Structure 1
Amino acid sequence: MNSEIKEEIPVHEEFTLCCGVETQVLKCGPWTNLFNDQSANRPKLLIFIIPGNPGFSAFYVPFAKALYSAVNRRFPVWIISHAGHVLAPKDKKILAASDDPNAQEIKDIYGLRGQVEHKVAFLRTHVPKETKLVVIGHSIGSYFALQILKHAPELPIIRSFLLFPTIERMSESPNGRIATPFLCWLRYALYVSSYLLLKPCPETIKSWLMRMALQRMNVQSEFSVLSVLEPFCLDISFTVVLETLNSAGFQECC
């Protein structure tokens, strides 16, 4: 798609409380609360993108813009961050939300199962029942999409697309046998180095490091990216990776 067209599509960043955790949502299309929009023009379908790990939502903005343009801007495209993976800037307003009562029972929201329940709770509380859903999962987000289908069959999901899915017996694969023990030990070295080296760094240094990393990935973002360098977010990312590697595999989630 023409890059000039993509630049014309505005993307709105919101932070909302979901299950008591601040959650970043990037929106192409209607920015208002869909429940409050009672007009005849309220969209009848929502395209919902679930990122891979580490849940860097802004990485998917060009993809979301292309989708929004491809559907002639008829249907909104939303990208949700994983719980705890994106921290709101100090000057950013966090919108309060009336969470699903059962969502407060999530004991380990930062774990693999908790992340699934986090997405279910968001969809239940932010998307009207009459709004159809197209769920797109990338990598570990594909596993989340399958779990949503399993644990929330009442959600009006009419299509689910799995992009480069991480869903089947990762720990039993040749790379998984090497990666699983390696990551178990690497996480402690990462925690120590991130707390000692990144935590004391000024925001300008963190911003520069992130810009360099994004430039190497050919990604440009105007949204909150510094949180990717926070030790807390790194901890959660590794937790999800390890739980995925140790999960029972495809048979369990289907």
Structure 2
Amino acid sequence: MQIEWATINQVPTKVLTWGKTLQEAKDHIGENLNYIVCICGNPGIPDAYIEFLDEIHRRTNNVVWILSHAGHSVNNVTDMPLYEENKELYELEGQIKHKANFIEEYIPKNAKIILIGHSVGAYIILRLLQVPSIQSKVTKIYLLFPTIEYIGDSPSGKLFMRFVRRIFSIILLLASLFNILPVMIQTFILHIYLKVSDMPSYLLEPIRNFVQPFVLKVVLNMALQEMLQIRERDNKILIDNRKKIKIYYGAKDEWCPLINYYNIMKDIPDIDAKVCDKGYNHSFVLKSSLPMAALISNWMKEQ
């Protein structure tokens, strides 16, 4: 795995690559390869997906790339366009443009693309399919725990709108106070949090990145845009691409309730959708990365 930084739609962006770096892809533009591109949920911190994508690369031997959402992974805050003056770069529509620009600039023209979208990443993928030059290269799409309709009406969406949005300023204040602490104390607190939450230790640095005030502001405001903008499901784009799409719903998902599965099967009976019977959570990368990677890889091999 390589860690790279690329400026995409004006925003310095973290990209993790397996199999080929961004430059190697440009140098071997004539090769007809499959590129697996994963679009994160929110927060869009690619480090949280390392174990998941490392296993997919090992099992499929395809090129695998994942990029952060704009402003969700930061190397140096001073290099980032100011949020207040550049909201269009960081909110939901800007994130969609950000991913489209990345694919158009870095994926070789003759390559085939397999897209994996987690949570709001699934919605972003459906929007990307409206771009003909991208849609024509996509051979398969996996939408995992997809928030592609009425996310604001989900149980977690209602909690966000009724409570979390009202305390944005308090959350940002607490983040600022945390970042004043010495690194040793920050690390101790995060170790305790990971231990109590039964999450792997490699998530410590991604979480430290997440609690930077700049990142939190971008994450929370993007989430608010999701609640307000993701409403009626785009059946046309799903129907037009249904032979490429496989959807995986959670059996108990507070962001994407099971009724969404029944509704889509009623509206598009021949779409390939499945309900998880293994107990994986919406945030599967926290505890179920390896079995989810095995599942997705097996689907790829079958097709």
Q: TM-score range by the shorter chain?
A: 0.7 to 0.9
In 2, are the aligned partners of 1:89 and 1:224 still within 8 Å (CA)?
Answer: no
1:181 is the counterpart of 2:162: yes
Q: Quick one: distance in 2 between partners of 1:122 and 1:167? A: 22
Alignment partner, residue 29 of structure 1:
19
Is 1:235 paired with 2:235? no
Shift of residue 178, structure 1, vs aligned partner: 3.7
Within the alignment, does 1:110 sit opposite 2:101 as a pair?
A: no
Structure 2 SS opposite 1:143: helix
> Is residue 44 of structure 1 aligned with residue 26 of structure 2?
no
Give 1:70 deviation, angstroms: 1.7
Map of 1:1-254 to 2, 5 A cutoff? Answer: 11-33=1-23, 34-37=25-28, 42=31, 44-71=33-60, 73=61, 75-88=62-75, 108-150=88-130, 152-155=131-134, 156-195=137-176, 197-215=177-195, 216-221=197-202, 225=206, 226-251=208-233, 254=237
Residues 228 and 164 of structure 1: CA distance in aligned 2, closer, same or farther (over 3 Å): same
Larger mean Cα displacement after TM superposition, 17-26 or 165-174: 165-174
Corresponding letter in the other structure for 2:63? P
**TM-score computed with the length of structure 1 as normaliser:** 0.79
| Contact kept in structure 2, 1:112 and 1:240, CA below 8 Å | yes
Structure 1 residue 239: deviation in Å? 0.8
Cα offset, 1:174, TM superposition:
4.7
Give the number of the structure whose residues are more often helix, by fraction: 2
CA contact (8 A) 2:48 2:203 kept: no
- Provide the rounded CA distance (Å) in 2 between the counterparts of 1:107 and 1:186: 20
Of 240-249 and 117-126, more deviation after overlay is shown by: 240-249
Secondary structure of 2:174 counterpart:
helix
Q: Distance in 1 between matches of 2:198 and 2:5?
A: 25
**The residue matched to 1:15 in structure 2 has which SS?**
strand
Q: 1:97-123 CA deviation, whole Å, 9 max, x = no partner?
A: xxxxxxxxx861110110111011111
Instruction: Give the direction of change, closer, same or farther, for the CA distance of 1:54–1:212 in structure 2 (3 Å limit).
Output: farther
Normalised by the size of structure 2, how large is the TM-score?
0.67
Partners of 1:12 and 1:182 in 2: how far apart?
39
- Identical aligned residues as a percent: 27
**Which runs of 5 or more structure 2 residues have no equivalent in the other structure?**
80-85, 238-303
Q: Residues 176 and 165 (structure 1 numbering): CA distance in 2 closer, same or farther, change over 3 Å?
A: same
- Structure 1: which 4+ aligned runs deviate by more than 6 Å? none
CA 1:175/1:224 → structure 2, altered by over 3 Å: closer, same or farther? closer
Superposition RMSD on alpha carbons, in Å? 2.5
Q: Deviations over 1:204-230 (max 9, x none)?
A: 333444444445353343895332120
String of CA shifts for 1:117-164, please: whole Å, max 9, x gaps.
1011111111111111111010111111111112x2211111111000
Distance of aligned partners of 1:244 and 1:27 in 2 relative to their CA distance in 1, 3 Å threshold: same
